Structure 1
Amino acid sequence: MSYTIALNFEDGVTRFIGCKEGETVLDAAYRQKVNLPMDCSDGVCGTCKGLCEKGEFDLGDEYLDDALSDEEAADGLVLTCQMVPSSDCVIQVPVASALCKTAVGKVEGTVAMVEPLSEDSIELAIDLDEGAELAFLPGQYIHIDVPGTGEHRSYSFSSRPGDSRATFLIRNVPDGLMSGYLTDRCQPGERLSLTGPMGSFYLREITRPVLMLAGGTGLAPFLSMLEHLSRKREEGQGCEQPIHLIYGVNKDDHLVKTDVLDAFQEQLPSFSYTTVVADEASEHPRKGYVTHHMDAEVLHDGDVDVYLCGPPPMVDAVLKHFDTQGIAPQSFHYEKFTPNQASEEAA
């Protein structure tokens, strides 16, 4: 038996490794040429300390308290030289990936579809090459090279991990580098290179109610998360905690993928969503911004995990709203994006 271990480095790079039954994470990493920090490998120095965010494991009792205290272990900190997984795990590694001599993954694929969804958004689908390995955590993003430019743009997956077809929602930016390529030149069958995955914005283990806040094409990572949850339910691992999405856009015709969201409501009994349109001339029943529609029932008196993805003004507005209203969620993960640069994240 083998378990999949996601190693999330502090520079945003994620590397997936396989860990054999009975094998420590440190040994598995070295076997796959990922040099995690270590000095002693005996549970004495604490150099290999990281944070396990998800998964089951055994640390044994062979390490010293000076290397890992009981309080640290209770908070999820681990020593990778002692950690023996008994399930898939996600581990935060507090160093840059370059220091561990691990490279960002790169895969190739073929454009399967380019479809305008509205004046504001484009859907891109890429069929990955057979045998290409592109593991990622639901919510993460990847760099896509723009052919003929020597540059890339960063986009969150809207597809679920493990699919052979990767999909993305891309904002249609006037005179944008990727937008121009997709609208003017891109044709099905063209080849694209992808580098990643990256990012600390991803779905954690759900242990309490979840509130998702999406702005425009910031809907993409939530589609990936919901795809993941739908598959888990099919496998008999359904989530009973309430999950609510508030999806805000500027204009009525910027609302996309609502049919998919409707399908998720059928597939996931605990999931619900509402839409909000900022345009004052709209006849939409809910006008304004997402901050105007965060009712008490979706905040659960702060006993909620909040995920937020959208353009910087929206992210800043939500942060200010939480501060002025004295709202302190149990956990708050956000990602803000701009058209011409990689995302900015916090967790």
Structure 2
Amino acid sequence: MTTYRIALNFEDGVTRFVDCSAQEKVLDCAFRHRINLPMDCSDGVCGTCKCRAESGTYDLGDEYIEEALTQDEAEKGLVLTCQMVPRSDCVISVPVPSTACKTGTGSFPATLADISRLGEAAYELALDVPSESTGFLPGQYVNIDVPGSGQHRSYSFSSSPGNSRMTFLIKQVNGGLMSSWLSSATEKEALTLTGPMGSFYLRSVTRPLLFLAGGTGLAPFLSMLSVLQEQPANHKIHLIYGVTRDQDLVLVERLAEFAQSMPHFTFTTCVADSQTRHERQGFVTQYMRPEYLHDGAVDVYLCGPPPMVEAVQKHFKTIALEPSNFYYEKFTPNATTAPLEKAA
């Protein structure tokens, strides 16, 4: 029997994956997985189950009324899950929190596979997980419990979905909780991960892309590029990767490998430090050239610290340009004492 993977991404950033048969309606599939998506009638009359299909192909049939879903709404990607039958893997944005649907984040085990130290700036952490726990959207993150601490830290996936080995790019913080554990961790050590989570993820590509990465905010873009590498390239993709110090510029060789295998992908690196030896000194905004902005007909994805997000927002206002879509995620390096909301 043909089945499709449906990612239900809730308003609070929680994502649940369900397997839907080729003849099954998404609402029925969700209920089968004990996820109570919003609904009243289930007959295409009330519109209560209205969600947005971010990607994928599907059939809505003709058994719903105009008041429940207008033609204009359908053309913009809105769907009635009580009528939607998938024809491919799909990502669906559900406009309510996961708790309202009596579901939430799940936890799963992992074992330490490898730790690569990237100079003095960062680590690349590799974890092995059960095959049934490999689903996430490229760009999302998980909470990783730090063994023996009773605390967790949040990191974006740098690997592509569907692999039993997950990787993460982690900033080295002197005295930091995760950094301290990594310095003495042993192979095969057990960890617990919770997720996936986050509304920062790659949508369907319908126009050129501009990726803006700050420091270890490069991680989600490595995941996105891994996915895009397997897809036919019809639109240009450019990444601007900015860091504070020369030693913070890591995994550039991996970006070069993507550029070699993906003709439509290019990238620029820059370092903010005025004493840098890098060929491009300055901030990401200085290298957002017109050829990468396509007069606004571009989808912009940004992952970096709050000042970088604010600087890019200000830059768009200064040049009077509004991109077609602007998705961003702010992160802050973890302090040594108190857990923070998000760290890439």
Shared topology, TM-score over 0.5? Answer: yes
Question: 2:159 maps to which residue?
Answer: 159
Question: 1:246 maps to which residue?
Answer: 240
Question: 1:338 maps to which residue?
Answer: 332
Q: Which amino acid aligns with 2:342?
A: S
Question: Is the partner of 1:315 in helix, strand or coil?
Answer: helix
Identity over the aligned pairs, expressed in percent?
A: 60
Question: Is the partner of 2:114 in helix, strand or coil?
Answer: strand
Query: TM-score scaled to structure 1, two decimals?
Result: 0.95
Query: TM-score scaled to structure 2, two decimals?
Result: 0.95
Shift of residue 240, structure 1, vs aligned partner: 2.1
Question: 2:55 maps to which residue?
Answer: 54
Q: Retained in 2: the 8 A contact 1:206–1:239? A: no
Question: 2:172 maps to which residue?
Answer: 172
Question: Is the partner of 2:37 in helix, strand or coil?
Answer: coil
Question: 2:22 maps to which residue?
Answer: 21
2: CA distance between counterparts of 1:209 and 1:74? Answer: 21
User: 1:266-289, CA deviations, whole angstroms, 9 ceiling, x for partnerless residues?
Assistant: 111100111001111112111010
1: CA distance between counterparts of 2:242 and 2:234? Answer: 25
Q: Are residues 1:39 and 2:33 paired? A: no
2: CA distance between counterparts of 1:318 and 1:152? Answer: 30
Question: 1:146 maps to which residue?
Answer: 146
Question: 1:306 maps to which residue?
Answer: 300
2: CA distance between counterparts of 1:111 and 1:343? Answer: 22
1: CA distance between counterparts of 2:253 and 2:73? Answer: 45
Q: Which amino acid aligns with 1:142?
A: V
Deviates more, 1:152-161 or 1:142-151: 142-151
Q: Which amino acid aligns with 1:306?
A: V
Q: How does 1:74-93 map to 2 (within 5 A)?
A: 74-93=75-94
2: CA distance between counterparts of 1:114 and 1:281? Answer: 30
User: 1:163-190, CA deviations, whole angstroms, 9 ceiling, x for partnerless residues?
Assistant: 111000011122221122112x312211
User: 1:291-343, CA deviations, whole angstroms, 9 ceiling, x for partnerless residues?
Assistant: 01111111111111100001111111111111121121111100010123233
Question: 1:262 maps to which residue?
Answer: 256
2: CA distance between counterparts of 1:291 and 1:36? Answer: 41
2: CA distance between counterparts of 1:227 and 1:118? Answer: 24
Q: How does 1:206-245 map to 2 (within 5 A)?
A: 206-230=205-229, 232=230, 237-245=231-239
Question: Is the partner of 1:342 in helix, strand or coil?
Answer: coil
Question: 1:121 maps to which residue?
Answer: 122
Shift of residue 103, structure 1, vs aligned partner: 2.7
Question: 1:11 maps to which residue?
Answer: 12
2: CA distance between counterparts of 1:10 and 1:267? Answer: 36
Question: 1:101 maps to which residue?
Answer: 102
User: Aligned to 1:272, which of 266, 289, 293?
Assistant: 266
Question: 2:337 maps to which residue?
Answer: none
2: CA distance between counterparts of 1:103 and 1:331? Answer: 28
Q: Which amino acid aligns with 1:44?
A: V
2: CA distance between counterparts of 1:164 and 1:337? Answer: 26
Deviates more, 1:100-109 or 1:43-52: 100-109
RMSD: 1.4
Q: Retained in 2: the 8 A contact 1:335–1:343? A: no
Q: Retained in 1: the 8 A contact 2:333–2:343? A: no
2: CA distance between counterparts of 1:217 and 1:187? Answer: 23
Question: Is the partner of 1:142 in helix, strand or coil?
Answer: strand
Q: Retained in 1: the 8 A contact 2:208–2:235? A: yes
Shift of residue 344, structure 1, vs aligned partner: 9.2
User: 1:18-44, CA deviations, whole angstroms, 9 ceiling, x for partnerless residues?
Assistant: 110111000111111111111110011
Question: 2:314 maps to which residue?
Answer: 320
2: CA distance between counterparts of 1:103 and 1:324? Answer: 41
Q: Which amino acid aligns with 1:149?
A: S
Q: Which amino acid aligns with 2:236?
A: P
User: 1:236-265, CA deviations, whole angstroms, 9 ceiling, x for partnerless residues?
Assistant: x41121100000011112111111111101
Q: Which amino acid aligns with 2:212?
A: L
Q: Which amino acid aligns with 2:326?
A: F
2: CA distance between counterparts of 1:70 and 1:168? Answer: 42
1: CA distance between counterparts of 2:112 and 2:342? Answer: 23
2: CA distance between counterparts of 1:318 and 1:330? Answer: 15
Q: Retained in 2: the 8 A contact 1:30–1:36? A: yes
Shift of residue 14, structure 1, vs aligned partner: 0.3
Q: Retained in 2: the 8 A contact 1:107–1:134? A: no
